[in-house]
Structure 1
Amino acid sequence: MTYDAEATRRRIFVAATAEFAAYGLAGARIDRIARAARANKQGIYLYFGDKEKLFGEVVRDKVDEVCHATDLGPGDLGESVGHLFDWYQEHPELIRLLLWEALESREEVQGELERREMYREIVRGAQAGGIAGGPSGEGARRLAQDWMFTILGLVAWNFAVPQLCRLVLDEDDEAAALARRRASVVETARVLAEARRFA
């Protein structure tokens, strides 16, 4: 049986994602990741360096995944925001990872330059779609950035604080409450996009 380095790396990523989402950077343990991934600790250190670098790679991988799974650029922005909402609902680990990163990271996060570039690409797509009143100019770029950050907040907040959703929405049927939130976020995104187009 031949050794499949890529399969091992993937298993490490899956195990590390679950571990970091559950325990954060400080609480995560490389030995638990190694057991769950059916890999050895030395292999993890060989592939990724240290625990901080592995955490950064995991977060960057999940951010890259959501960026490629959804498109906030030209097209039906409401539908795109709905897809983003659905993605976050299906992948709750991203919100947990981002919250842990915010709590535990120092001034600069792992892979910050690459992640900034991913977001710049999304902003350029939003500008090309007419968000912020047009595709050019520093002011238009800033408006598109603000729009994108606002949309990310509208979507993510539903999954970052589930207890607050239960308390504020005060509904026995959580699925119905979440469906209502999705519709509200999609409509808000459409309204904001239209307002930006004519700003």
Structure 2
Amino acid sequence: MSTPAIDKISLTSQHLIVEYTSTESIFGMVAPSYKIKGVKVVGTSHLQVMRYVYTIARVEDLYFEGDKLQHMPGFRELVTEWIKPGQQIVSVPNGRTSIAHVYTGKKNIAQISAVEKYKATVPMGFLDIIGKDPTPKKILYGNPAVPFIQQGDDKPMAAAYYNSATNQFEILRQFDKHSLLQNFQRRFSKAMTATG
């Protein structure tokens, strides 16, 4: 039984940011709401924003003492590298790219209303679920320039490309959620393998 090939990658500065909004949550089931004679006196509503960040990654080949490794470094290679750091195991970009899912976060926004006239919103920051957000200042929900698109019964969704090295931010106004990742990789792979 052979060990499956595991690619070493290095992340680039090109990101795809995707955010979904949803009103489905446990908060809506347990939050208080008071009515007097059919008029809602005090009520609450909840909005959940899910955030995903994907990054183009360069795939690299690993070499040990000049020979290409067909697998991740084993005990012998790691001990040799530990004795002479930076000299034995070397990685070299091979021209291929991949997409790394680097971040997932969730933001809850509660809205409290009184007599259906006075409203207060209680926004909270993103709760990190997976990873650390490489693009924390580029928030889609709440940005008036960013359209949230809803296709059929799907949840409203927004997407944008962001390059953290050049600070270039491009809002996607039309996209298909099923081909979003493939289009992202197709568009930026060549530039990322050439320039880094």
Superposed pair shares fold, TM > 0.5? no
Q: TM-score range by the shorter chain?
A: under 0.3
Using the size of structure 1 for normalisation, the TM-score is 0.26
Using the size of structure 2 for normalisation, the TM-score is 0.27
Structure with the largest fraction of strand: 2
Structure with the largest fraction of helix: 1
